[in-house]
Amino acid sequence: MSKRKFLRKSGKRQGGFTLIEVLIVVVIIGILGSIAAPGWLGFVNQQRVNKTNEVILRGLQSAQSEARRTKLNYSFTLRMAAGSVPEFATFPDSTGTTEPSNWTSLGAEIGLAPGQVWVGTNLAGQNESGGTVSAVGATPTGRITFDHTGVLRSSSRSPDVDLRLVTAQPGGGTDPAPGTLRCVKITTLLGSIETYRTDAICKP
């Protein structure tokens, strides 16, 4: 065999991969993918929770701003029917929650699908805390209402503070997944709104 033919054959061998080499690469990619996939999925799910919390915050702030602008009592509330996505309503007391146009679906707002987020609250009436945070249902159990100055509205009783609107990744049954909670919280009678990212504050 001439030196030229030997070099040509050697060049062909060095330019490709054997079947064993290809299989090794495929196996390595598969292992890396199986390690990275759960972490990536958890990141995506938590981003949905964060976006949901941001939209709820904007909705609550909108109710407060509209109360000041219109000099009317404005409320904010949440609902989520079984097999559906969360919805929120921002509305004046004159229309209430029965007006369909007052409701905004988070499916349309940020592209949520049913079962992707858990939403809960401790509301038990108008500006009234029931203490325990539980999942919202198809019928709102309470609302946060601002008067014409943007502070929590007083009616027959003094408003509660520590009113919480909570989002999380779904856990088992009707509970949120631990370590994933985000919340919007009314902290003073003047209507101060804060956001938190810890389970201890959002669902103690």
**In this structure, which amino acid lies at residue 201?**
I
Q: In this predicted structure, what is the pLDDT of residue 159?
A: 76
Instruction: Please give the Cα distance from 203 to 168 (Å, whole number).
Output: 10
Per-residue pLDDT reduced to its tens digit, 2-42: 555 444 554 445 556 787 877 777 777 766 656 655 577 87
* Mean pLDDT value across the chain: 85
Q: In this predicted structure, what is the pLDDT of residue 60?
A: 96
Read off the CATH number of the domain in which 11 is found: 3.55.40.10
Per-residue pLDDT reduced to its tens digit, 81-96: 888 899 999 999 888 7
Q: What's the gap between Cα 82 and its chain centre? A: 17
Q: In this predicted structure, what is the pLDDT of residue 198?
A: 92
Per-residue pLDDT reduced to its tens digit, 165-203: 999 999 988 899 999 999 999 988 888 999 999 999 998
Quote the domain boundaries for residue 73.
Answer: 3-202
Instruction: Please give the Cα distance from 71 to 194 (Å, whole number).
Output: 23
pTM strictly above 0.85: no
Indicate if the pLDDT at residue 120 is higher than 80.
Answer: yes
Instruction: Please give the Cα distance from 117 to 52 (Å, whole number).
Output: 8
- Work out how many domains the chain is built from and give that number: 1
